[in-house]
Structure 1
Amino acid sequence: MTEGTSAEAELSGEAAKAWLTVFSDRVAAGVDELTDLDRRAGDGDFGWNIGSALERARAGLDDDDRTGENPARVFQTVSDAFLASGGTSGPLFGLWFGRLGAGPERPWSVVDLGAAFGTATEAVRRLGGAEVGHKTMVDAMVPATDALTSGTSDTWREAVAEAARAARAGADSTGGMIARRGRASYLGERAQDVLDPGAVAVAWFFEAAEDV
């Protein structure tokens, strides 16, 4: 980052709110895809759970006129919605967004983004006991976070675009993996060629920022 960062280089609360809105739209449009992936490798409720959580999150963002104040407030509102949802994904995404919600209460620089996502992703890894290669959402979270913390971008949009490419590559890599965590681990090779729906959703989250 260069000194004298402009306001446009930082992630504002309004931009974070728009980011989550685009992500919600993306999940709503692809809920059947997520459900199909989870049906082939899990219990089939992932698409419904994440979709309903984001609907609640969007309602919370629309109802609270203070969510545009800073990114942390936006992410905390999303966390609350996920923590109220079912399935194993709810607590994990709730924790992830919750740790993001503990970030600075001001617009975020690229350094702030990297620090916040680093803390959030590490919390998910500890709670779920998952590592890269276990065929979980962590396979997309970790490379995206690494891109944010090691990149040289000057603006949040550039940084998140790099994270999106890393998350997509991570999600795609789960096709061909034998799961080591979650319900898919009970299926072994039968679910080997199925993309992990959690990792796909994480990739969609980062890619959604490109349309803000």
Structure 2
Amino acid sequence: MTTLQLAWTRDWIARFAAEVEAQVDALTELDRLVGDGDFGRNLRSAVRASLAAIVDDPPACPGDTFRRVSDAFLGTGGTSGPLLGLWFGRIAEVQGDEVGAAEFAAAVDTATRAVQRLGRAEVGHKTMVDAMVPAADALTRAARTSGDVAAALATARTAAEEGAESTRSLLARRGRASYVGGHARGVVDPGAQAIAMFFAAAAPDGAAA
């Protein structure tokens, strides 16, 4: 059984930040096609601020790490900043030096429901929720059968990636993409793609850190 610990969580955020840096232009282009084109740059600003906060005020546990990320997103502009700040903030409520699969799954589920309430978004609306909900559901199912966080996160990664890809065929009903109507068809929602990237960064190839 593996649990989520501080070093793993910090490495997770570092890998996520590195992937954002590598994909910032692609994310910006996705957002240009369905929104105002600022998502990639805002996401990059937030992850850079997250890394700086982790260095300047080292977290003591996994929850503290996610709190640094939450604060960074809440301080970032754009529509997605407050939503992702809220999401990470709810995840940050996990307690202790070691976080088990059930506790982490519950935190992600709570976080996702909070984003849905604030954004009034459901699966099928072509938003980040299309990746968040499948990931949260996969974590919950995995936690019921195993206490292994690495295994649970591997299933969440697959679910988030499939959820993000599903947005390609959707007509947006929430967010800025809803303003462009059918022009958003054929384009993956950048917010959902970012959530898939986050879970993909949990550990290389889904393995334990």
Fold shared per TM-score above 0.5: yes
| 2:124 corresponds to 1:133 | yes
Distance 1:20 1:31 in 2: 16
| 2:147 corresponds to 1:154 | yes
Shift of 1:183: 1.0
- Count of residues in correspondence between the two structures: 203
Shift of 1:71: 1.1
Match of 2:90 among 99, 118, 132: 99
Deviation string, structure 1 residues 144-164 (Cα, Å, up to 9, x no partner): 000001112331111101000
- In the other structure, the counterpart of 1:82 is 73
Distance 1:11 1:45 in 2: 32
- In the other structure, the counterpart of 1:178 is 171
The letter of the residue matching 1:197 is: P
Alignment partner of 1:174: what SS? helix
The letter of the residue matching 1:75 is: F
Deviation string, structure 1 residues 114-137 (Cα, Å, up to 9, x no partner): 111011101000000000000000
Distance 1:41 1:183 in 2: 7
The letter of the residue matching 2:167 is: T
Distance 2:201 2:98 in 1: 19
- In the other structure, the counterpart of 1:208 is 201
Distance 1:133 1:70 in 2: 35
Deviation string, structure 1 residues 86-132 (Cα, Å, up to 9, x no partner): 00000000000001112213310001111110111010000000000
Match of 1:48 among 41, 49, 52: 41
Gaps of 5+ in 1: none
- In the other structure, the counterpart of 1:124 is 115
Alignment partner of 1:161: what SS? helix
Alignment partner of 2:13: what SS? helix
100-109 or 114-123, larger mean C-alpha shift:
100-109
Distance 1:190 1:140 in 2: 21
Kept in 2, the 8 Å contact 1:73–1:105? The answer is no
| 2:28 corresponds to 1:28 | no
Shift of 1:176: 0.9
* Moved beyond 2 Å, runs of 4+: none
TM-score (norm 1): 0.93
Distance 2:125 2:99 in 1: 31
CA RMSD of superposed structures (Å): 0.9
- In the other structure, the counterpart of 1:110 is 101
Alignment partner of 1:175: what SS? helix
TM-score (norm 2): 0.95
| 2:68 corresponds to 1:58 | no
Deviation string, structure 1 residues 43-77 (Cα, Å, up to 9, x no partner): 00000001000000001112223x1x211100000
Gaps of 5+ in 2: none
